[in-house]
Amino acid sequence: MLVTAKHFPGHGDTTEDSHLTLARLDADRARIEAVEMQPFRAAIASGVDAVMTAHLTVPALEPENIPATVSSKIITGVLRDELGFHGLVVTDAMEMQGLAAMFDTAEASVRAIQAGADVLLMPKRAEDAIRGVVAAVENGRISRRRIDESVTRVLAAKVRLGLTRKKLVNLEDIADVVDSPESDERAQSVADHAVTLVKDTKDALPVRHPESTCLIAMTEGRRSQQGIRLIDEVKKRAPGITATVLDPAMTKDDLDQVAEKASSCSQIIVAAYVSVNAYRGNVALAGGYPDLLNALIAGKAPVLLAAVGNPYLLRSFPEVAAYLTTYSPTPTSETALAKALFGEIAIKGRLPVTISGVAKYGDGIQAPIGRPVVKGL
């Protein structure tokens, strides 16, 4: 396994999303040295295999308004020469707008290699990247020596991984590695610790009256497996709970019937599956879900909204009585959500982001196991 540090020279203090635009790090050199560089210095000292570049401009390091990915001052000058990194330099995805909006695939590929990159990750068109680099070598824009340097680093990485000794994978052994009990246990622990309670105005947790509670799973597709694990886990704990799985293709009449049935519930739990996708400008529920959710919120029963995935969903429905987020729609996160609903795990998560106008970085109501939430902590 290759260990990679990212995104160089530091993407944690920007307000822009480099998937959508060219981000900018406005810190001065002293701040960058004291803060942004420290994780990379530590990683390099520990023998990190690769460093991934960032599609952001850093005026303190590169006066030209170009992404660090294509800046020789940053990649070669700072990362290679100053920090002494000799491993693989991998670009961030080259299809991202922070780079692609400024250069076409061929030009971005050539500039990245000139800057010091060894691996071009996810160019929009691989054929264009190859043709562009080949043409640059043929016309002397990129030297053959420069290509040889990257090839040597790539081959060295393959040797470290043992690919010269064993090039084929035994398919029968895969499950022993990626689906081991130890891995499952660790993944579940991570999911349990991630659950974050952002809002709870009605003391909705833990669920006290499951026999009169309705659970509605808003999945992202008709053929999706979303909601299956969640409902299975909830039913284990509360067999009498009313559970419904929706898909975004359902008609308004169908969704109106769901709202009518839910009107008799004492509490409504809505598990909304919104995959984390950096290319989405706004987080939105599909189909008729928004109208249904707003109708439920306007009703008498308090609504606990659980964002099974993207935490920003609260921004669209700030009037819900309670709000949980798991940051992921995976089965382990569904299990963690079921545990949290019934007080089997302490809810300790805190927001790693600010939800504009609703909640700020670090917010998170702490809820001990099986007890009412402790607010304001």
Mean pLDDT of 116-121: 97
262 and 295 in a common domain: yes
CA neighbours within 13 Å on the CB side: how many for 106?
A: 11
Task: Please check whether residues 87 and 121 belong to one and the same domain.
Answer: yes
Domain with 262 in it: what CATH number?
A: 3.40.50.1700
In this structure, are 314 and 187 located in the same domain?
Answer: yes
Please indicate, yes or no, if residue 97 is contained in any of the structural domains: yes
Residue 207, domain member (yes or no): yes
Same-domain status, 98 and 218: no
pLDDT at 283: 60
Q: What is the rounded distance in angstroms from the CA atom of residue 63 to the CA atom of residue 61?
A: 7
Helix axis angle for 144-160 and 126-138, nearest 10°, is: 130
pLDDT of residue 276: 65
Average pLDDT for the chain = 91
Span 313-349, pLDDT tens digits: 999 999 999 999 999 999 999 999 999 999 999 999 9
Q: Residue 20 sits in which domain range?
A: 4-160
Q: Please tell me which residue, 195 or 18, carries the higher pLDDT value.
A: 195
Give the residue-averaged pLDDT of 224-248. 94
pLDDT at position 176? 73
329 & 194 share domain: yes
Distance separating alpha carbons of residues 110 and 330, to the nearest angstrom? 38
Cα–Cα distance, 94 to 100 (Å, whole number): 7
Write the pLDDT tens digit of every residue in 252-304. Answer: 999 999 999 999 999 999 999 987 654 444 566 878 999 999 999 999 999 99
Residue 118 lies in a domain: yes
Residue with tokens 């597709």: 221
Bridge partners (DSSP) of residue 271 are: 217, 306
64 and 120 part of one domain: yes
Total domains, the chain? 2
Rounded CA gap, 268 and 278, in Å? 29
Are residue 11 and residue 156 in the same domain, yes or no? yes
CATH label of the domain that carries residue 134:
3.20.20.300
Distance CA 71, CA 63 (A): 10
179-223 pLDDT tens trace: 778 888 999 999 999 999 999 998 889 999 999 999 999 998 877
Question: In angstroms, how far is CA 147 from the centroid of its own chain?
Answer: 33
